[in-house]
Structure 1
Amino acid sequence: MYKPNFNKRFIFKFKHFSNKRYSLFSVLGKEVLVGTLSVATLSHAKAEGISTDVSKVTTDSAMQKKAYELDEVQVTASRAPLTLSQQARMVTVLGREDIIAAPVQSVNDLLKYAVGVDVRQRGPLGAQTDVGIRGGNYEQVTILLNGININDPQTGHNAFDFPVGLSEIERIEVLEGPAGRAYGTSSLLGAINIVTKIPSKSSMSVNVKGGSYGYWQAGTRANLANGLWNNSFSASYSKSDGYQRSKSGKLNSDYSGGKFFYQGVYNDGLWKVNWHCGMSTKGFGSNTFYSAYSDEQYERTLKTYTAVQAENIEGKFHIRPSIYWNRNFDKWELFHQNPSAYPYNYHRTDVYGVNLNGYFDWKLGRTGFGAELRNEDLVSGNLGEKLQTPKHIHGTDRNYEYGLNRTNVQFVIEHNILLDKFTMSLGAIAVKNSWSEMHMQVYPSVDAGYSIDKHWKLYASYNSSLRMPSATELYYNSKGFNANHNLKPEELSALELGAKYQSRSFWSNVSVYYNRMKNLIDWVIDTKSDSPVLTTTNFGRINSVGVELNSYLDFQELLPSQNVLKKLQVSYAYANQEQAKYDGIVSQYVLEYLRHKIVADLRFNVWKKMDVNVIYRFQKRNGRYASGYDVVNKVYVFSKYSPYSVVDARISWAEKLYTFYCEANNILSHRYVDFGRLKQPGLWVNFGVSLNMNL
């Protein structure tokens, strides 16, 4: 991405992203300073004023003009929109250019390059991946599709079953740290929003790739633009034999799945309406993902997503209502195709939501507000309370005999004080959930930023939030598992201090955070117990301290006379928790956080239109896992996680109508583990081609 010119005091319009108000941080209200946390050369944007008259910009070159136009990508992070230079928080934005250049096959893989994100992969191709932020786990992050919350109350294990592939994604936005005021419950440690693209012109694209372990993928998309209307359709299918087999010789890491997505936009200049509907279906061999009793586990999921959003473009009083319905179906087999050995687990969830956000200006600043009503309904073969009227499980001779229904209500108020170099945003969210016996709880937050000059900015924030337990944490009882239905909601408050520096060719950010966590939920084993078993429990209090450093160098700006080196980015994250009093406790997630993570990205040109992107990643995880069982002494054997390094690369030749590429993951062929004993595949190579044309 091009870097902004800080010698001029303008705000510039990113035409391709402008008016994308379904973006997470636009739906929720306030503009954010966008930084480059990932080594995938993330977008960095800064706005210095309020004017959006691009015609007033004068430039010395075509490159500078393009840099100006790219400079105002509207990404927002609370209830009322503010200019990017007025906002104190950092957002990672993986733009379209970054997605194309990265050697990845799924959103899960792409997020590995964001230094503050912990991607614990059980299987490749996004089969099953737990994604956490700043030492948190997969249940503590809000996942959104075009600004709509798509979290599943059953479990967060399959949260990344998106109905869109990488070729349909415009950008991915990642906000680190608790933000209950902006995102409501479940955003205990951050939010990840997938923003899909709708080209302004009618177009069509096709992509095909294939490679190691019998992997192949094919997809297509078409966009039809006509006056005030724009409609986009996409579909894809992928399959792999997997990289290993069970002890009996059967495939146990195979994968197959399809995606379909439709979205539309109507814009008459007064109102803008967006809608989408999509479906994701997949089946995958889950090895020993969830239990050590069988290495022939299998899981199949089917998810559908529907949403309608609107907003008024004109007027002093702005409102943004939305309504959505998400349905998730999950079938899990402890022994694949053998229900007599152990009955299959069936779950179905329906999530209905309606929310309203708005803001207005007056003499004392800008005030934003919001309200949401969200109902979560689960029916299951083994999770929840006993149903009075069982419901039939389609395609089987069984019934859903258990279930859980809860409604969450939240109200938000926020006010923004805007001065020349100083801004402050303060507000609170009030939350009440029908499942919990707690009264309505209020969680405050405040963000402040001060611009020293055109290069330096200081910021500080205090945010708080909470999370309700998932149905799996509350009710899953099986071999080796003992859930606790009396769990309390998790609560967290966080303080963050940071500084940012940016110039035409160099950008850097350093931040220090302190998280005070209460009632964190996890599956744990007490190794001092005579009969250790995984049990869900609330930890008392855990305090966490972390540091993140991100630096980015644009060689094309620094050394414009050379055409080989393009960009270099290096990022580092460190975290440490106070957990001495939990000696003897083996945690599945809470105590198994990333202590060190380093990501380095170098992008360069080899010859003509041949580009290469090389990414190095180092990780050191805290914690232990059960690596075996001592039959003689009848005790589990525990091992510490070993640090590992991974090198990925992508080489491509891009023309206007087509692109050829080769991707190589884990070039060093290191059989590392992200979770327990589940070794990841060695070297994985793919070849692909994509075709793009205007209609």
Structure 2
Amino acid sequence: MKKSKNSISETSEIRWKRFSNEKFATFKSMHKSISIGVLSVATLLSADLKAQTQPDSTSTELNYQLQDIEVTSERVPLTLSVVPRMVTVMTKEDVSAASAQSINDLLEYAVGVDVRQRGEMGVQSDISVRGGTFDQITILLNGINISSPQTGHLSSDFPVSMEEIERVEVLEGPAARLFGTSAFNGAINIVTKCDTSSHVAGHIFGGSYGYGGGEMSANLSAKKVQQQVSGGFRRADGDQENSDFRQTKVFYQGRLSNSSIKVDWQTGVSSQDYGANTFYSAAYPNQWESTTKWITSVKAETNSRIHFVPSIYWNRSKDHFQLIRDTHKGENFHQCDVYGLNLGAWIETKIGKTAFGAEMRSENIISTNLGKETTDSVAVRGENDLFYNKKDGRDNISYYAEHTFLLKKWTLSFGAMAHKVTNLNNKMKIYPGVDIAFRPNDYWKISTSWNMAMRLPTFTDLYYKSPTTEGNVGLQPEESSAVDLGARFRNRGIESSVALFYHHGKNMIDWVMYSQNDVFHSAGFELDNIGAEINASFFGREVFGERWALRKISFGYAYIHQEREDDVEIYKSNYALEYLRHKLSASVESRVVKKLNATLSLRYQDRNGSYIKYDENHKSTGMLVDYEPYTLVDLKLSWDANNWSIYAIANNLFNVSYYDLGNIPQPGIWLKAGAKFKICKK
């Protein structure tokens, strides 16, 4: 395979782990759990909320005091008043209100996230943050890395549906020392629900272009053990020729907790096949692809003086690609296996709080196209006389440590990750970082950070070859040095934040054409990236009470500018320089009448770069065409009762014609409707 937002939640700092209802308190006025935490070296600091609220005459109890919130995590506990970094979170209320039916579509509304869709409903998307590429972020499921070293094109293939989401957490900026080498420019963590009540739930839906499907889930909860299983299927004929798809997802998770230990486990599979239209080359309109991903993991945390936090996981992805559907032309088969083991711990002493640990991640691929020639061929299951005759693999070994000093109005957190990879000289390199926060009062927080990061080339970057592309086995790891400065204000009913960043990168990988008649080559460049982001939200019920119709108004804007710092002339960039220069996202969530709720969302996007225009016969015109800015409006109406709801969605309400990637037109107005129910054990 070629390499290829939904309202933003209250922008809160969070902990990167699942909630335990019996352990973590809630903001009672909001009827939900919110965690607030610090992300520092090799550690995601999580929030154990003990929020105090003052009830008013409307019984909303939304005027909570932040200074008394206690923050704990998988490894190191801190109070909210000393947290040095910030994260954006979409809560389950935001997920429920959004005009989206896939996680990929949900992320479209986060102003710092760029989702370049090839297919609808998350069929195939490239997800990136802060002007980076889709290979430069880590995708996590309940804190477990499920990213693919084959290509970032496959990282957004989630084995869970939106109905299973508790929240989505977005960390913008380098996080390699936290999550490994793929978190070069940020990380996205999908946190699933872990209910403490037994129930059965269902969801059926349908819409334009032959769209339809259903989902079911069941939760069994005992005193110390919770288990949940879910599954779903969806399909569509597509809005144009060869854009049909079928998706199947199955997911199981469980938790065992007592006074001495907590253990979480999960396993899941997602499978989809789809007409890939002109997904990877406009010259071939009949491409087809089938992908399957399996994930399995177990993690634990002890409740002792030294808190041990081990985890182990395995991910497998299989990819079958045809350049021309139902033929063997340009056909590729890939199987990628990833094994990981993380041994972490944290401890509190008189001089502060310390986290330390080590991680081993083994990445391996067998393929008909990617890797080095091998005599140990493996048969491709289900195919006659076809073998995986190429393979490659690498072992990543990391050691990490960080320490946090706590003062009255200051937090200083510093640490480093030492990393080596077996097929890259087997030498250890150190990537340090420092996070600082200043809190002049209970409402303001000013933070700054400096971090270094690295990313290994994907197997596609190194080896992929097709009639239109050529990989480069000589690629070196990407490296960056990044500075961030941010401020956040939070008071009754109002939350706002501003962030500025500068990233300097070398060996930054892109797929480029050096001349008009060239193919795309993977190559490394020096790149400067500077940007700013503003977010603001108003929570009507927090000011006027629970009976107030308006729940939330949110607004976000992001600006990015990039410059190459080398003298190599190129004709066309395919990814790195096709970033969103301007992005604006706004939404209004309100009750219309009784149980009828509405969400109106708007997105404006202006993309840098250009694409080679192809005519109706899929022949190149040789003309470079700039990406045109566009504005999309989505509307969702829902009737929400206690244990059931019905809804209708109109995506692209005004039927705007637009492109996320050149020569791949996106759907016009798409109407969808559905019903949900939940049966609880009495």
**Shared fold per TM-score greater than 0.5:** yes
Amino acid at match of 2:381: H
CA distance in 1, matches of 2:211, 2:546: 41
Amino acid at match of 2:178: A
Q: CA deviation at 1:456?
A: 1.5
Identity %: 41
In the TM superposition, 1:404-443 aligns within 5 A as 404-437=392-425, 439-443=427-431
Contact 1:14 1:72 (8 Å CA) reproduced: no
Q: Which residue of 1 aligns with 2:470?
A: 482
In the TM superposition, 1:579-598 aligns within 5 A as 579=564, 581=567, 584-598=570-584
Is 1:163 the counterpart of 2:159? The answer is yes
Q: Which residue of 2 aligns with 1:660?
A: 646
Is 1:267 the counterpart of 2:257? The answer is yes
Q: 262-271 vs 132-141, which deviates more?
A: 262-271
CA distance in 2, matches of 1:234, 1:464: 39
Change in Cα spacing, 1:53 to 1:667, as seen in structure 2 (3 Å) is closer
Contact 1:79 1:414 (8 Å CA) reproduced: no
Is 1:383 the counterpart of 2:370? The answer is yes
Q: Which residue of 1 aligns with 2:45?
A: 31
Is 1:276 the counterpart of 2:266? The answer is yes
Q: Which residue of 1 aligns with 2:218?
A: 222
CA distance in 2, matches of 1:300, 1:331: 5
Q: 288-297 vs 417-426, which deviates more?
A: 288-297
Q: Which residue of 2 aligns with 1:38?
A: none
Contact 1:140 1:190 (8 Å CA) reproduced: yes
Change in Cα spacing, 1:113 to 1:542, as seen in structure 2 (3 Å) is same
Q: CA deviation at 1:12?
A: 8.5
TM-score (norm 2): 0.91
Change in Cα spacing, 1:438 to 1:503, as seen in structure 2 (3 Å) is same
Q: CA deviation at 1:535?
A: 0.4
Deviations 1:602-635 (A, max 9, x none): 111211111110000000000111113799x987
Q: CA deviation at 1:383?
A: 0.7
Contact 2:58 2:547 (8 Å CA) reproduced: no
Equivalent in 142, 146, 149 of residue 146 of structure 1: 142
Equivalent in 328, 333, 343 of residue 356 of structure 1: 343
Equivalent in 637, 645, 669 of residue 631 of structure 2: 645
CA distance in 2, matches of 1:20, 1:350: 33
CA distance in 2, matches of 1:71, 1:99: 28
Q: Which residue of 1 aligns with 2:19?
A: none
Q: CA deviation at 1:120?
A: 0.5
How many equivalent residue pairs?
Answer: 657
CA distance in 2, matches of 1:204, 1:70: 36
Q: CA deviation at 1:73?
A: 9.4
Equivalent in 13, 19, 32 of residue 25 of structure 2: 13
Q: Which residue of 2 aligns with 1:309?
A: 299
Change in Cα spacing, 1:88 to 1:70, as seen in structure 2 (3 Å) is closer
In the TM superposition, 1:260-659 aligns within 5 A as 260-313=250-303, 315-339=304-328, 342-397=329-384, 398-437=386-425, 439-527=427-515, 531-539=517-525, 541-560=526-545, 563-579=548-564, 581=567, 584-628=570-614, 636-659=622-645
Q: CA deviation at 1:72?
A: 9.5
TM-score (norm 1): 0.90
Amino acid at match of 2:197: K
Contact 1:17 1:74 (8 Å CA) reproduced: no
Amino acid at match of 2:518: P
Q: CA deviation at 1:324?
A: 0.6
Q: CA deviation at 1:524?
A: 0.3
Q: CA deviation at 1:555?
A: 2.0
Gaps of 5+ in 1: 5-10, 33-46, 246-251
Gaps of 5+ in 2: 1-8, 13-22
CA distance in 1, matches of 2:237, 2:79: 49
CA distance in 1, matches of 2:673, 2:634: 14
Amino acid at match of 1:185: T
Contact 1:28 1:80 (8 Å CA) reproduced: no
CA distance in 2, matches of 1:53, 1:472: 47
CA distance in 2, matches of 1:447, 1:682: 44
Q: Which residue of 2 aligns with 1:109?
A: 105
Change in Cα spacing, 1:634 to 1:454, as seen in structure 2 (3 Å) is closer
CA distance in 2, matches of 1:72, 1:575: 37
In the TM superposition, 1:43-122 aligns within 5 A as 59-60=55-56, 63=59, 65=61, 68=64, 80-122=76-118
Change in Cα spacing, 1:30 to 1:156, as seen in structure 2 (3 Å) is closer
CA distance in 1, matches of 2:114, 2:11: 28
CA distance in 2, matches of 1:277, 1:516: 38
CA distance in 2, matches of 1:568, 1:74: 28
- Give the match's secondary structure for 2:111: coil
Contact 1:358 1:370 (8 Å CA) reproduced: yes
CA distance in 2, matches of 1:327, 1:289: 23
CA distance in 1, matches of 2:680, 2:230: 16
CA distance in 2, matches of 1:19, 1:455: 17
CA distance in 1, matches of 2:556, 2:90: 15
- Give the match's secondary structure for 1:171: strand
- Give the match's secondary structure for 1:331: strand
Contact 1:257 1:280 (8 Å CA) reproduced: yes
CA distance in 2, matches of 1:625, 1:93: 33
RMSD: 2.8
Q: CA deviation at 1:293?
A: 3.1
CA distance in 2, matches of 1:27, 1:694: 42
- Give the match's secondary structure for 1:108: helix
Change in Cα spacing, 1:630 to 1:534, as seen in structure 2 (3 Å) is farther
Q: CA deviation at 1:557?
A: 3.0
Contact 1:302 1:329 (8 Å CA) reproduced: yes
Amino acid at match of 1:216: G
Deviations 1:142-168 (A, max 9, x none): 011111111111111021111110001
Deviations 1:479-537 (A, max 9, x none): 0111111100011111011111111111110111001111110110123x6x4110010
CA distance in 2, matches of 1:93, 1:30: 14
Amino acid at match of 1:585: Y
Change in Cα spacing, 1:438 to 1:327, as seen in structure 2 (3 Å) is same
Deviations 1:265-287 (A, max 9, x none): 11122111111111100001100
Deviations 1:363-411 (A, max 9, x none): 2100111210011110000110011310010011200000111100001
Q: 231-240 vs 155-164, which deviates more?
A: 155-164
Deviations 1:320-357 (A, max 9, x none): 10111111110001111122xx1520000111110011
Change in Cα spacing, 1:72 to 1:577, as seen in structure 2 (3 Å) is farther
Is 1:669 the counterpart of 2:669? The answer is no
Contact 1:592 1:623 (8 Å CA) reproduced: yes
Q: CA deviation at 1:436?
A: 1.5
Change in Cα spacing, 1:63 to 1:589, as seen in structure 2 (3 Å) is farther
Q: 356-365 vs 107-116, which deviates more?
A: 356-365
Deviations 1:389-434 (A, max 9, x none): 1001001120000011110000101000011111011000011011
Deviations 1:580-602 (A, max 9, x none): 85664311111111100000111
- Give the match's secondary structure for 1:14: coil
Contact 2:370 2:391 (8 Å CA) reproduced: yes
- Give the match's secondary structure for 2:196: coil
Change in Cα spacing, 1:213 to 1:18, as seen in structure 2 (3 Å) is closer
- Give the match's secondary structure for 2:43: coil
- Give the match's secondary structure for 2:158: coil
Contact 1:2 1:66 (8 Å CA) reproduced: no
Q: CA deviation at 1:207?
A: 0.5
